[in-house]
Amino acid sequence: MTNWTEMDTYAKKWIKQAGDLIKKSFSGSLTIQTKSNANDLVTDIDKGTEQFFIKKIHEKYPDHRILGEEGYGDTLKDLKGIVWIIDPIDGTMNFIHQKRNFAISIGIYEDGVGKIGLIYDVVHDELYHAMKGEGAYLNNDKLPDLAPGQVSEAIIGINATWVTENKRIDPSLLAPLIKAARGTRSYGSAAIEMAYVASGRLDAYISLRLAPWDYGAGIILIEELGGVTSTLKGESISIESQTSVFVGKPGVHEEILQTYLKGGNW
């Protein structure tokens, strides 16, 4: 029998410990490297944090597998069994430039089904957590279910990249949505933006390309609260690959999909 409560307790303990290690690193110097391009950054702290989780998980749960952004976990061909999907620092650019607005994201899946989602905004000491069927919380406070809303009163999380010339979408397609919304925000961390949708600070969030470790925890939190998660086409998100991600409270998600996105050729 899988003891999810025990796993949740360990995951929370480890995420707080990792957060403390990250905070301690602020007083030292960072080693920064680039990945796919000059603005795609990684630090020794991203790598060290991922390795910290892998060590803890392997010690306690040797049969669990781990998918981590920095590649120290397992190479997975499927999501059978229990898989921890980890982004050790989501918002690395913020971590480097601002020392805030980054998070640790952990989604725990069983046979591809999301069971536990944790997003820890380290600097604000805000831990968003959910266990499937057991409610979602911000620290010790239970989050209310997401109430229906409408675009005219919505704040939408979206990165300005998607309304400039880019590879994935005609930038003019999102302009009418941005005009119709009450406002837009961009925080530079997909995990934080999804946690903000869960907590009602944002009403929707759109990204044209995210990886499983960016959204693995966030979709568990949002779905637990009755929010809607899909790709930009309105299809269900497959946790196994890079995808567009479009999440929102009920009503807002539907209105955006029907009025602004339907018929787009992405």
Count CB atoms within 10 A of the CB of residue 24.
Answer: 10
Query: Under DSSP, is residue 253 helix (H, G, I), strand (E, B) or coil?
Result: helix
40 is an interface residue for ligand 2AM by CB under 6 A: yes
Token pair 């961390």: residue: 189
Site string for Ca ion, 87-106 (x = CB under 5 A): x-xx----------------
Q: How far is the CB of 25 from ligand 2AM (least distance, A)?
A: 16
- Least distance (Å) from ligand 2AM to the CB of residue 217? 12
Site for ligand 2AM in 199-228 (CB under 6 A): 209-211, 214
Long-range contacts of 162-171 (CB under 8 A, 24+ apart): 162/206, 162/207, 162/208, 166/208, 168/208, 168/209, 168/244, 168/266, 169/208, 169/232, 169/264, 169/266, 170/264, 170/265
Contact 52, 24 (CB under 8 A): no
Contact residue for Ca ion among 8, 50, 214, 223 (CB under 5 A): 214
Q: What are the residues whose beta carbons fall under 8 Å from the beta carbon of 254, sequence distance 6 or more? A: 228
203 interface partner picked from Ca ion, ligand 2AM, none, CB below 5 to 8 A per type: none
Residue at shortest CB range from ligand 2AM: 190
Q: Give least dist CB 266 to ligand 2AM, A.
A: 16
- Specify the stretch interacting with ligand 2AM by CB under 6 A; choose among 86-94, 116-124, 128-136, 217-225: 86-94
Residue 188 binding ligand 2AM, by CB under 6 A: yes
Interface region with Ca ion, contact rule CB under 5 A, candidates 58-66, 137-145, 164-172, 212-220: 212-220
- State which H helix or E strand residue 103 sits in: strand 103-110
Element (DSSP H or E) covering residue 224: helix 212-224
Residues 60-79 touching Ca ion, rule: CB under 5 A, are 69
Selection from ligand 2AM, Ca ion, none that 136 binds (CB < 5 to 8 A by kind) is none
User: Which tokens go with 92?
Assistant: 């690395």
- Our CA dihedral for 217, 218, 220, 224, rounded to 10 degrees, sits at 140
Element (DSSP H or E) covering residue 11: helix 4-25
189 contacts which partner out of Ca ion, ligand 2AM, none, CB within 5 to 8 A by kind?
Answer: ligand 2AM
CB of 33 to ligand 2AM, least distance (A): 13
What letter represents residue 167's amino acid?
K
- CB of residue 105 to ligand 2AM, shortest distance in Å: 8
Binding residues vs Ca ion (CB under 5 A):
69, 87, 89-90, 214
Binding residues vs ligand 2AM (CB under 6 A):
36, 40, 69, 87, 90-92, 159, 188-190, 209-211, 214
